Structure 1
Amino acid sequence: MRFDNTKKPKGFKRIVFALRHSLRAISWLIKNESAFKQEVTLLLVSLVALGMLQAGIYQWIAVIGATLFVMFAEILNTAIEVIVDRVGLDIHPLSGRAKDLGSAAVLVALIIYALVWVAVITAF
């Protein structure tokens, strides 16, 4: 079966379809990706910690934004892994490099997350 680009929904229907597909992807991530589950837990723990610290609105925004950025990087990393695995399960240096680069993106996002927390904690 081939994708027919001429039958794509338009207008508000397209928004509904996009939201449905996005929620399906997030549901799949929560069920199948342990790293994403850990990042959801990280978000929840961050929210509790911010509440306990009685953080200001800008601190809430910074930490939630940094946490969502980590989750965003994980989603892209998982997408890269899925595409590489779809192309073939043979071991190839470029496949490994693509997966390593996706992993590096998550690492950079986690470093940003840690730096945001350092800024939040030192503000108290």
Structure 2
Amino acid sequence: MLRFWRATINSWRGLKFAARSEQAIREELVALVIAIPAAWLIGVTPARRVELIAVVAMVLMVELLNTAIEKLSDRLTTEHDLQIGRVKDMGSAAVGVALAIAGAFWLFALVERMGLI
């Protein structure tokens, strides 16, 4: 139980640091807070509501991983490095894919709510 508690504390500290240092993390936290009530309005089933919240949480998760990659890369060298730039670009691409998936889920849910499918 102590290990679980320590892991929870470390996770909370990581989230707080990321939120303080990264605008994208703050924006996605706001999106998650907005998504919770919005999912209840848009989702037609309990499962759909959970899916809508989960995909926004997924975007936050991918952004946290991308931020970790960027912070670690910046610790390795402050000079421009082509390979590190590519790694950062791949992390950014992962965030873009997560955003596209989330957008598709929300669009589908809106169309479903309007009764078009």
With the length of structure 1 as denominator, give the TM-score of the two structures. Answer: 0.85
Select the structure of larger CA radius of gyration: 1
1:109 is aligned to 98
1:77 is aligned to 66
User: Which letter maps to 1:113?
Assistant: A
Aligned length: 113
Q: Name stretches of at least 5 consecutive residues in structure 1 with no aligned partner.
A: 1-11
Determine which of 26, 47, 67 is the counterpart of 1:58: 47
Matched, 1:98 2:87: yes
| Mapped partners of 2:17, 2:3: distance in 1 | 21
Task: Give the secondary structure class of the aligned counterpart of 2:41.
Answer: helix
| Mapped partners of 1:112, 1:54: distance in 2 | 16
With the length of structure 2 as denominator, give the TM-score of the two structures. Answer: 0.90
2:36 is aligned to 47
Q: Name stretches of at least 5 consecutive residues in structure 2 with no aligned partner.
A: none
Identify the structure with bigger relative contact order (alpha carbons < 8 Å, sequence gap 6+).
2
Whether the 8 Å contact between 2:43 and 2:52 is mirrored in structure 1 is no
Question: Percent of aligned pairs with the same residue?
Answer: 30
Task: Give the secondary structure class of the aligned counterpart of 2:78.
Answer: coil
